[in-house]
Amino acid sequence: MANENKRLYRSTDDRMIAGVCAGVADYFDVDPTLIRLLFVFGFFVTGSGLFWAYVIMMIVIPEYVPAGEDIVSVEAKEVKEKK
């Protein structure tokens, strides 16, 4: 049995707002739509509690950077895409 260390990252490919739900879905190997629906349902059940949890996760969880790229090249690519 291989000991694979999984890390939680925000998704850069399948994001709606900040990539938190897609990152959680990648971590647990489930459909991102399911996680998004659970977050929306949880928001209505817990009030603003899950909203603040999402904001904290957006700040704490790092974005995924592919192994072949460094942070500077990713940020430069994002600036070019915004123009």
Domain that holds residue 31: 20-82
pLDDT exceeds 90 at position 59 = yes
Cα distance between residue 13 and residue 63, in whole Å:
10
Q: Residue 62 has which token pair? A: 């790092």
- 12-55: per-residue pLDDT in tens? 888 888 889 999 999 999 999 999 999 999 888 988 888 889 99
6 occurs within a structural domain: no
Q: With a threshold of 0.85, does the pTM exceed it?
A: no
3 occurs within a structural domain: no
pLDDT bracket for residue 57 (50, 70, 90): very high
56 occurs within a structural domain: yes
pLDDT at 48: 82
Question: Phi, psi (5° rounding) for residue 48?
Answer: -90, 0
Burial of residue 57 (CB within 10 Å: 0-12, 13-18, 19+) is middle
Radius of gyration of the chain from its Cα atoms, rounded to whole angstroms? 15
pLDDT exceeds 60 at position 77 = yes
Cα distance between residue 67 and residue 69, in whole Å:
6
48 occurs within a structural domain: yes
In the chain, the number of structural domains is 1
